[in-house]
Structure 1
Amino acid sequence: MKIVIVSDAWHPQINGVVRVLEITRRELSALGHEVCLITPDQFKQVPLPTYPDIKLALFPYRKLSKLLTELNPDALHVMTEGPLGWAARKYCRLNNRRFTSSWLSKFPEYAAMRTGLPVGWLNNYLITFHDQAAHTMVTTDTMMETARSIGIRPVVRWQRGVELSRFRPIPSTVFDHLPKPVMLYVGRIAPEKNLPAFLKLDLPGTKVLVGDGPELASLSKRFPDAVFAGPKTGDDLIEAYCGANVMVFPSKTDTFGLVNLEAMACGVPVAAYPVTGPKDIIGDAPVGATHENLAVAIQRALTMKSKDCIAHAKTFSWERATDDFINNLVSFSAERPRRVKEVVTSSVHTDRT
């Protein structure tokens, strides 16, 4: 099956959407599907206001329309609600083609933080974007309930996984020189991540933040006792996880949080607020703690055992996540539904060993 995925998020960004795209493309290709990505680097770009490190496609419709016509995919999935996402939606509307979409972030909440626009107005933006999709994919049951409550329908589940071959316990001395416990944050240094709530806590040990973003300079000045380690990838990132005692996830606007699974796979428990994402990942397992008082969550998480975290992370498979994605494409194509259904059925039952 030829699958086209349109996304406003791509390299050089380092975030969950980019990781999902990379892994999903790899898994789909391993199953024999042809996967084509349409991303901002293929267009003229403009910096995102308030976040210049993120580049958005500028007036992409004409070129995107040409690309989609030439590719003529069996299935089209739109990952994001940015300029490329809207251009793809317009193309499908004008050409009577169906598509699936994803709702990957609590966009209204953090857009309201940055712009001052009402959350209700931004919810309408989301509803309008997704109303033409055959269905909208979300990461968790909680997100399904949230989507339905604001009027995004129909919604289906597309779960997430963790690369267990990469994220695993390894010896690490990277933070041995720091006072313990080491409380690690991994992600963007940006307003929507609610980092001051973590950095203001009066707790023994060291707060370490791995990542980059528009608030890096201001937060490093406000909180000089914290260690801002910059962005890390590959083995450096794994060593950072394995050198920590607890992973702290203060965001209240993320819908999942791949970094939480990565930390658990390295044997590190997670502390977070009881919000969508962390509470779905942790559940009732002894692998972390959620609490309205983040300090309480951190103290409880520090009592969790590494072996339990690793075992829990192993229940999140990218193979199963990819099966979710393929199954969700069944209702995509009005032009050739039989072919899509036959290919999807065959792929889902392929022996991957």
Structure 2
Amino acid sequence: MRILIATDAWHPQVNGVVRTLTSLARSASALGADVSFLTPEGFPSVGVPTYPGLRIALPNRREIARRVEAAAPEAIHIATEGPIGWAVRAHCLRRKLAFTTSYTTRFPEYIAVRSIIPAALSYAVLRHFHAAGAMTMVATPSLRQELAAKGFKKLGFWGRGVDTNLFNPDDPAKLDLPKPIFMTMGRVAVEKNIEAFLVLDLPGSKVVIGDGPQKAELERRYPQVRFLGEKTGQDLTSHLAAADVFVFPSLTDTFGVVQLEALACGTPVAAFPVTGPLDVIADHPIGALDNDLRSACLRALTMSRDSCRSFALERSWENSARQFIGNLSALQPSRSLRPAVRVAGRSTVQG
């Protein structure tokens, strides 16, 4: 099956969406699918207000049409609701091409903390965006329930995975820091709620991996915290393995792939009991969830690192890719897009 995925989030960005899509493509290939991407590459772009370093593409109708036609896809998936996503959606509607979407980022909450635009208005726009698709894929049962309550229809499930070969506990970094080490990783931005971790009264050391618009400010305000910037590959893995607890303070993530990456390194997770952590950690003995994040951090110290690793080994990207491909069978034949391969297995659609 030839699959075209349209996404506004792409390299050199370092985030969960980019890691998810690249991991999906690699695993889907092993299952016999051919995944290509329609990304911001080659389009002019502008900077995002209030977010230095982040740019959004300015796609044009003709080039979008050319790229879609060149890919000759048997299925189209729109992964983001940015300019690329809207442009590909418009192309599909003009040509009467079926497509699926996924809800991966809480843009209404992100926008609300950076502007005066209320979340209710943003959700109305997103409902309109996703309603045109054959299915909106979500990563967790709790997110599916939440979006259904907000009026979203045709919701399907697409879980996430982790590369347990890359993320492993075998070679932890030697960090010359007082123990225990509490670590967080991600975009250093207000919507990630990192300050909720930094203000905690915890023993040992706090470490932040990642970059973003808040990094310089938080470094000045919390000089006792070690900010290490962005890390990738084996360097990232070794640092996650060196932590005693991975702290996930976000209240707005739809899943949080970094939780699985930390668990694969044998590091237990401390988080708030919200969508994402509730689905990943739940009542498994691999982390602690509490509205008192400090209590969660201290309880997580008691968790078995072997249990964390074992849990992650059961969450493969191959299973995630199989779910994704199976969902594409929900595409209805259209004027010019007819899936040539019907993937075995049923998709779960709510609507």
TM-score w.r.t. the length of structure 2 is 0.95
Deviations 1:278-302 (A, max 9, x none): 1100111100001001001101111
Residues 165-189 of structure 1, C-alpha deviations (whole Å, 9 max, x = no match)? 11111232431x1111100001110
Q: Per-residue deviation at 1:202?
A: 1.3
- Conserved 8 A contact 2:241-2:267: yes
Aligned residue in 1 for 2:299: 300
Whether 2:261 is the aligned partner of 1:247: answer no
More deviation in 329-338 or 34-43? Answer: 329-338
Q: Which residue number in structure 1 is paired with residue 228 of structure 2?
A: 229
Residue 58 of structure 1 aligns to which amino acid in structure 2?
L
Q: Shift in Å at residue 196 of structure 1?
A: 1.0
- Give the drift of 1:30: 2.1
1:138 and 1:171 mapped to 2: Cα distance? Answer: 34
**What's the counterpart of residue 275 of structure 1?**
274
- CA offset digits 1:147-174 (Å, max 9, x no partner): 1111111100000011011111123243
Aligned partners of 1:140 and 1:202: how far apart in 2? 32
Structure-1 separation of matches of 2:336 and 2:97: 12
**Distance in 1 (alpha carbons) for counterparts of 2:113 and 2:59:** 26
Counterpart position of 2:30: 30
Structure with greater contact order relative to length (CA < 8 Å, sep ≥ 6): 2
Specify the SS of the correspondent of 1:344: coil
Larger mean Cα displacement after TM superposition, 119-128 or 329-338: 329-338
CA RMSD of aligned residues (A): 1.7
The residue number in structure 1 matching 2:128 is 128
> C-alpha separation between the residues in 2 aligned to 1:111 and 1:339?
37
Indicate the SS of the match to 1:130.
helix
Identity of aligned residues (%): 45
Q: Would the aligned equivalents of 1:40 and 1:55 in 2 still touch at CA under 8 Å? A: no
Structure 1 residues 277, 36: closer, same or farther in 2, change over 3 A? same
Cα deviation, 1:245-292, whole Å, max 9, x if unaligned, reads 000000000011111101111110000000000110011110000100
TM-fit CA distance, 1:65 = 1.7
Which amino acid is the alignment partner of residue 317 of structure 1? S
Q: Deviation of residue 53 (structure 1)?
A: 2.0
CA distance in 2, matches of 1:224, 1:143: 36
**Contact conserved, 2:74 with 2:337, CA < 8 A, in 1?**
no
Check the 8 A contact 2:264/2:313 in 1, yes or no: yes
State the Cα distance separating 1:341 from its structure 2 match: 6.9
SS of corresponding position for 2:247 = strand
Deviation at 1:122, TM superposition (A): 0.8
Provide the rounded CA distance (Å) in 2 between the counterparts of 1:62 and 1:252. 39
The aligned counterpart of 1:351 is: none
Cα distance between partner residues in 1 of 2:62 and 2:126? 23
Q: Match of 2:287?
A: 288
Q: Does 1:313 align with 2:308?
A: no
Rounded to whole Å, the distance in 2 between the matches of 1:338 and 1:36 is 16
Q: Is the 8 A contact 2:161 2:316 kept in 1?
A: yes
Q: Which amino acid aligns with 1:264?
A: L
Q: Aligned ranges for residues 5-24 of structure 1 at < 5 Å? A: 5-24=5-24
Cα pair 2:162 2:312 within 8 Å, conserved: yes
Aligned-partner residue type, residue 277 of structure 2: P
CA–CA distance in structure 2, aligned partners of residues 261 and 40 of structure 1: 28
8 Å CA contact retained: 1:249, 1:270: yes
Equivalent residue for 2:61?
61
Q: Deviations over 1:217-252 (max 9, x none)?
A: 011111111000000001110110111100000000
Cα distance in 2 between the residues matched to 1:70 and 1:289: 48
CA distance in 1, matches of 2:65, 2:50: 29
Which is worse superposed, 294-303 or 28-37?
28-37
Unaligned residue ranges in structure 1 (runs of 5+): 349-353
Question: Where does structure 1 differ by over 4 angstroms across 4 or more consecutive aligned residues?
Answer: 336-339
Q: Secondary structure at the match of 1:217?
A: helix
Residues 1:326 and 2:333 aligned together: no
SS at match of 1:165: coil
State the SS of the aligned residue for 1:54. strand
What SS is found at the alignment partner of 1:69? helix
Aligned to 1:113: 113
Contact 1:264 1:313 in 2 (8 A): yes
Aligned pair count reads 346
1:63 deviates by 1.0
Match in the other structure for 2:140: 140
| Post-superposition offset of 1:338 | 11
The question of whether the paired residues in 2 share the 8 Å contact of 1:76 and 1:332 is answered with: no
2-side partners of 1:134 and 1:261: how far apart?
Answer: 29
Letter in 1 for 2:182: M
